[in-house]
Structure 1
Amino acid sequence: MYDPFQLDRLIDLWLTEDIGYCDLTVQVMIEPDEQGHFYMNAREPMTIAGIDIAAAVFKRYDRNLEVETKVKDGDVVEAGAILLTVRGPARGILTAERTALNIMQRMSGIATETAKYVAAIAGTKARLLDTRKTTPGLRMVEKHAVTCGGGLNHRLGLDNGVMIKDNHIAVCGGIAPAVARARKRLPTLTKIEVECDRLDQVTEALAAGADVIMLDNMSIADMKTAVAQVAGRVPLEASGGIRFDTIRAIAETGVDYISTSKITQSAPAVDIGLDEAE
């Protein structure tokens, strides 16, 4: 879930970016007392994410606007569904329109893509995870969108857990000393995950006491071997090069989690419009 305090700061940045000094078009064309009534609608099937954020954009710009949401995050809608209505001073609606649409299209695009990947691994034990490969400044809302699509969040930031990767291992002189260093100073309830790209590293990480082992860019055959080798003693996460056309086979190896940046970095925005109510 996103932090409302942080959200207000983000909305201020988004509006400032789009408006600049003023919305010149509405200032020269629309009278201050003119009223408007519009509805936001889905122009294609989608999984909803960001509906309350879109509503907050309108209200943040003009508190006199009346916004009513018709759906909630996580809902699956068809083309033509009305997502929210907004009425009040026309200047406020028209100025905030693009910012509200932009974030709604981006977030719902991520939720829709995530839902597609989740459906692809249905019936297996694997759960879908996101990554830190997010749009700078939008991580909080993009990771929220992943959960709306049925995925799980990995680390929200570097302070959320210890991820020992190849460069950490190189500096420390091996997996065992790297885990030992981390364990010595680690907060009690924090987990250690170790990235492994070879089966011998999986053996070493398991012996060193890793809480989670990441199988990085491994072949399907090696993943199956790793699953048998670990035998459920710690969770296994498959990562690296995950694509929609390969994720089912990866899930069927028996791994616990599959992480991919495709659901955030490569998710296409969905088509949402704002039209005048009749």
Structure 2
Amino acid sequence: MSSLNTTELQFSNLLPTHFDTLIASWLAEDTPAFDVGGYVVGEEQKTAILYMKSKGVLAGKPFFDEVFRQVGGCKVTWHYEEGEYWHEFIEKVPIAKVEGPARKILLGERVALNALARCSGIATEAHKIRSLADKHGFRGIIAGTRKTTPGFRLVEKYGMVVGGADTHRMDLSHMVMLKDNHVWSTGSITKAVEAARKVAGFSTKIEVECQSTDDANEAIAAGADIVMLDNMGPETIKTSAQSLKSAWAERGKSILVEASGGITAETAPSYFSPAIDIISFGSLTQGVSFVDFSLKIQKN
């Protein structure tokens, strides 16, 4: 077991003040009418143990805590920190306890576990890929994408950070990314970049999705800050990235090059190159395995 949070800074401080409304919507979705199970168990004070039942990174404590704050009358006590990582399989590790009325514990149980399992799964995958990059000496950015679950983006982006990955764009308004549909709609890469630059503001970077080195050169000439080499194959992308870096360095312009397009933990090493600054992974949120947790009320 080790911790991924090497400083005293708290990941939870990243979260916006309104994230409680997100949790409220989850609870409303899960119990829109009668809670017959809650009626059955009543108000007797109970203690439930939270078990982590598969290896991985612990991530999502603020969401878990907020669920039980909102159901009311519950106290959560953690035995481990956010970002703790279990390297080996351990059958069942007690990582926290929840104390409160039986019906309140069960009211929050599944919502809290869903958030924790999903967030920890993403953090685990992010840690896996970041560790792989470090092992191969790749010092560039390992990033997620905007391929997130509607209504669950904050949890998924938070999990990326805990696991050591970059969030990339948080949302559509964060940075400008001009993709093939933008280019086709405006007529050219140059027109799309010039139009974006007029309104984006000096502090906003512009990235352009490119299908070739020629596309990338056009984007940079038009004023793009980042070029994404998309679906070009690892050797083609590495060659193109090196060519772009060298050519534009001679003109005194520094650019960022991102590799993207179906890259996974298994294929990532073939993309590692000093000429590539960012590698983005839709797989950080799509198809990622959950970490297994359970919450068990203790018998009297």
Scaled by the length of structure 1, the TM-score of the pair is 0.93
2:125 alignment counterpart: 113
SS at match of 1:132: coil
1:30 alignment counterpart: 41
Asked whether the equivalents of residues 49 and 111 of structure 1 are also in contact (C-alpha less than 8 Å), the reply is yes
Map residues 185-200 of structure 1 onto 2, 5 A cutoff.
185-200=199-214
1:149/1:106 CA distance change after superposition, 3 Å? same
Count the aligned residue pairs: 274
2:189 alignment counterpart: 175
- Structure 2 unaligned regions, length at least 5: 1-13
1:98 aligns with 2:107: no
SS at match of 1:107: helix
2:62 alignment counterpart: 52
Q: Which residue identity lines up with residue 217 of structure 1 in the other structure?
A: N
SS at match of 1:195: strand
Map residues 203-222 of structure 1 onto 2, 5 A cutoff.
203-222=217-236
Offset from partner CA, 1:218-239 (integer Å, 9 cap, x none):
1222212222222262111111
**1:124 and 1:145 mapped to 2: Cα distance?**
21
- Structure 1 unaligned regions, length at least 5: none
**2:112 and 2:235 mapped to 1: Cα distance?**
46
Scaled by the length of structure 2, the TM-score of the pair is 0.87
CA apart distance, 1:69: 2.0
Asked whether the equivalents of residues 235 and 271 of structure 2 are also in contact (C-alpha less than 8 Å), the reply is no
1:139 alignment counterpart: 153
CA apart distance, 1:50: 0.6
Asked whether the equivalents of residues 59 and 120 of structure 2 are also in contact (C-alpha less than 8 Å), the reply is yes
Offset from partner CA, 1:132-178 (integer Å, 9 cap, x none):
11000011111001111110011111111111111211222211222
1:21 alignment counterpart: 33
Q: CA RMSD in A?
A: 1.6
Q: Which residue identity lines up with residue 119 of structure 1 in the other structure?
A: S
Residue 76 of structure 1: which of 80, 85, 89 is its match? 85
Identity between Structure 1 and Structure 2 (%) = 38
2:8 alignment counterpart: none
**1:95 and 1:178 mapped to 2: Cα distance?**
50
